[in-house]
Amino acid sequence: MSQILSSSILRIDLDAIRANYRTIAERVAPARAGAVVKANGYGLGAERVAAALYLEGCRTFFVARLVEADALRAVLDADAGIFVLNGLDPGAEPRCADVGHIPVLNSSSQVAAWRGLAAARGVALPAALQLDSGMSRLGLPLADAERLARDAAFADEIDLRLVMSHLACGDEPDHPGNTAQLAAFAAGRALFPGVPASLANSGGSFLPEDFHGDIVRPGVALFGVDPGPAATGLRPVATLHARVLQIREIEAGTGVGYGLDHVARDRQRLATIGIGYADGWPRNLGCVGRAWWNGVPLPIVGRVSMDSLTIDISDPRAATLAEGDLVELIGPSQSLADVARDAGTIPYEILTRLGSRHARIFVEDGPSLDVGDRA
């Protein structure tokens, strides 16, 4: 790993992603498992992640925006369905239809725009319909869904592929909101008999079978993040290391970093490493977080800068750490969940903020799609 010419290295285990998909797919069968790969595959590289999942048998993918769907279509075969969760921005309907993506219609205005294009082209256009089952984020109220179900022209204009909703508390198995949403969604999906239904996200995939519907939509669970206490059997996917740029010794009373937030009480040995908030490492881990080297914790001292941060390597067990070596930020010694806890956030945010400057190393032992030839 030390031969790679980069200040930070993000290693992504595609075999672990495939294993996590298998774990979820086996758990929810006979329901099918799709895959949510929005936000550049939760920061890890959507094209490579989706290609690995395709080889594992996944044929239903979910992204948030049309531009993300375009990127996936370049690497997936035509039998893969790509759903755009946020629906379409006004005016984007022709582009979406031409390429063959499937918009998730979340509001009456999105429904009207998609129906208008279908009527103008004289062909039924594929879509999913999202119902608001109680999260109050995206989706049609039940009354609007009832009006659509009574509208005979709707079925002629829209090839409805999926009726869906989203759990607000799927990561809390005992939360009463789950059963309330399940009941509300059951009433809504009954309006569209014969159409596949989807309610469960990552957390919902580990709830009882009633929540699974016809297809589940795991996202962060694919990347090794436990989406609640009911989740088991998921493998870590990502490790992150950063290179030591410089080592110095400072005397007691010396300040470190912007604002001189850290002042040495005694003589200290410090290392500056090549990662900062421009790379997605949270700024509020300054004076709080840590790096690791051979199982030795190395506290962050001073503020996290844009391109670097400083760690205390005074521990005698780190005496042989040298300039050019790599220290661990996410890995066996410090999980993604540990980092999120110290930063006062959730693992989703840590993953999706990882920047483009990391050298990304994709690891897989099995066959792979040649993404380079398709992009």
* Residue positions annotated with a catalytic role: 38, 258
Strand pairing of 215-216 and 32-33? Answer: parallel
- Give the span between the Cα atoms of 328 and 360, in whole angstroms: 15
DSSP secondary structure letters along 231-293:
--SPPP-EEEEEEEEEEEEE-TT-EESGGG-EE-SS-EEEEEES--GGGT--GGGTTT-EEEE
Q: Which residues contact 137 (CB under 8 A, 6 or more apart)?
A: 166, 168
Q: CA 83, 80, 356, 345: dihedral to nearest 10 degrees?
A: 50
Q: Is 134 helix (H, G, I), strand (E, B) or coil?
A: coil
For 34, other C-beta atoms within 10 Å of its C-beta total 24
Is residue 159 a contact partner of residue 145, using CB atoms and an 8 Å limit? no
As to burial, measured by CB atoms within 10 angstroms (0-12 exposed, 13-18 middle, 19+ buried), residue 267 is exposed
Provide the CA 285 distance to its chain's centre, in angstroms.
21
